[in-house]
A = this chain, B = another copy of it.
Amino acid sequence: MIVLNGGSSSGKSGIARCLQAVLPDPWLVLGVDMLIQALPASSPTSATGIEFAPDGEIVVGPEFRALEAAWIAGIATMARAGARIILDEAFLGGATSQQRWQHALGELQVLWAGVRCDSAVAAGREIARGDRVVGMAASQAELVHRGVAYDVEVDTTHTEALDCARVIAAHVR
């Protein structure tokens, strides 16, 4: 299992797709975006306890936390059942988020990969992507790495996604 952790617009998803292209076996890309997509569409706030503030901050309530815990347990089961999984994540809680995953993944072999990007560059790429909610790139750039331990780190500020993927792939056994 490969866990990619980085802020919004840091380039994680692009690296994930490049990893799928350069690794010899088929890998699944899963991540928190998929969980959010699975949530009820109308009034995500009240019903599920996740809120996207206008400034790009994300506020998560206990209801979302419970669903997320079940989601994490399920992905750990998929990995134990033999699926090769690339996880596309943003550890909004830093070290606490990593511990949540470490606890669920237990004995599984995991490659922890940090995806960094200069805050101003990520903010510019957020504009280029045309996201309606602006500000997440800047607010998450440092936050998601606080206290997180990695096996490999890449930085997309001056390095292409495909080259970052090759660096990470070299660590996959």
Stretch at the interface among A91-99, A107-115, A146-154, A157-165: A157-165
Q: How distant is the Cα of A70 from the Cα of B85 in the complex, in angstroms? A: 11
> A38 in the interface, Cβ–Cβ < 8 Å?
yes
> A173 in the interface, Cβ–Cβ < 8 Å?
no
Chain B residue at minimal CB-CB distance from A121: B160
In the assembled complex, the CB of A169 is this many whole angstroms from the nearest CB of chain B, namely: 13
Among the listed B42, B66, B78, which residue makes an inter-chain contact with A71, where contact means beta carbons less than 8 Å apart? B78
Residues of B within 8 A of A143 (CB): none
Residues of B within 8 A of A63 (CB): 26
Query: Which chain A residues numbered 7 to 30 have a C-beta less than 8 Å away from chain B?
Result: 11, 14-15, 17-18, 20-21, 26-30
Proximity bits, A55-82, B CB within 8 Å = 1, else 0? 0000000010011011101111111011
Interface residues of A (CB under 8 A from B): 11, 14-15, 17-18, 20-21, 26-30, 34-35, 37-42, 47-48, 63, 66-67, 69-71, 73-79, 81-83, 121, 124-125, 127-132, 134, 158, 160-163
